[in-house]
């Protein structure tokens, strides 16, 4: 079966926007799991003739908790379990947060390849906004703008290199 790429990150960092930019078509809807909101989370995608399946872990909201950290720990663990490559999305506009550090910590303990995408870098002269994210200990941050479709090719090159 195809490699699986999971997208993880805080609410509002732009996961769904990225997911929709990359995805080709809807493939399925998450099973009806009690306590879990149904959302479109699986999508077929292709880059350089390599097909893969993407999961938007942000589409899985635990109804029983309003705590972002609990939900994010769940997302991160799900991603580590299911994915061949994890894309951790952070937000250049809000900067690094405690929740980002917590998720980075969980992701660093996994043996899966983790790519760090800094979203909302909407123009090339904003690329200095990525530097603080080196502190997450996940390697070189990749600046992207999901809404403006900037640098998504660089991100996808690195995704498929890690299959
Ligand atoms: P999610 O909660 O992580 O799935 O985030 P969404 O994809 O729903 O996006 C949250 C907000 O950020 C929306 O208002 C988007 O339009 C906005 N957004 C997403 N990507 C970008 C981007 O590259 N640049 C800017 N400036 N805004 C973005
Ligand atoms: Mg979303």
We report the CATH number of the domain holding residue 77 as 3.40.50.300
Both tokens assigned to 82:
């299911």
For the packed helices 98-108 and 68-82, what is the interaxial angle rounded to 10 degrees? Answer: 30
Give the closest ligand to the alpha carbon of residue 13: 1
Both tokens assigned to 52:
């893969």
Specify the residue with its C-alpha closest to ligand 1, atom 25: 120
How far does the centroid of ligand 1 lie from the alpha carbon of residue 1, in Å?
A: 30
| Whole-complex ipTM | 0.99
Radius of gyration of the chain (CA): 15
What string of pLDDT tens digits covers the 163 residues of the chain?
899 999 999 888 999 889 888 875 444 444 444 544 445 578 889 898 899 999 888 766 555 556 777 888 888 888 899 899 999 999 999 999 999 999 999 999 999 999 999 999 999 888 889 999 999 999 999 999 999 999 999 999 999 999 9
CA 99 to chain CA centroid, Å, is: 14
pLDDT for 65 equals 54
Specify the residue with its C-alpha closest to ligand 1, atom 9: 14
Could you tell me the residue range of the domain that residue 58 belongs to?
A: 4-161
How far does the centroid of ligand 1 lie from the alpha carbon of residue 116, in Å?
A: 16
pLDDT for 56 equals 85
List ligand 1's pocket residues with C-beta within 6 A.
9, 11-17, 58, 119-120, 122, 145-148
The total number of structural domains in the chain stands at 1
pLDDT for 145 equals 96
What is the CB neighbour count within 10 angstroms for residue 47? 16
Which of 27, 11, 9, 16 is CA-nearest to residue 146?
A: 16
pLDDT for 16 equals 85
């Amino acid at each position: 079966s195809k490699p699986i790429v999971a997208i993880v990150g805080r609410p509002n960092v732009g996961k769904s926007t990225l997911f929709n930019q990359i995805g080709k078509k809807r493939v399925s809807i998450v099973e009806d799991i009690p306590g879990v909101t149904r959302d479109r989370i699986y999508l077929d995608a292709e880059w350089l003739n390599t097909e893969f399946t993407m999961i938007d872990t942000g589409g899985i909201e635990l109804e029983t908790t309003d705590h972002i950290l609990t939900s994010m720990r769940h997302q991160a663990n799900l991603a580590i379990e299911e994915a061949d490559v994890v894309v951790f999305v952070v937000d250049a506009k809000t900067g690094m947060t405690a929740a980002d550090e917590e998720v980075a910590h969980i992701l660093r303990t996994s043996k899966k390849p983790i790519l760090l995408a800094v979203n909302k870098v909407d123009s090339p002269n904003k690329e200095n906004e990525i530097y603080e994210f080196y502190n997450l200990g996940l390697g070189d941050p990749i600046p992207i703008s999901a809404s403006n479709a900037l640098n998504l090719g660089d991100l996808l090159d690195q995704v498929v290199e890690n299959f």
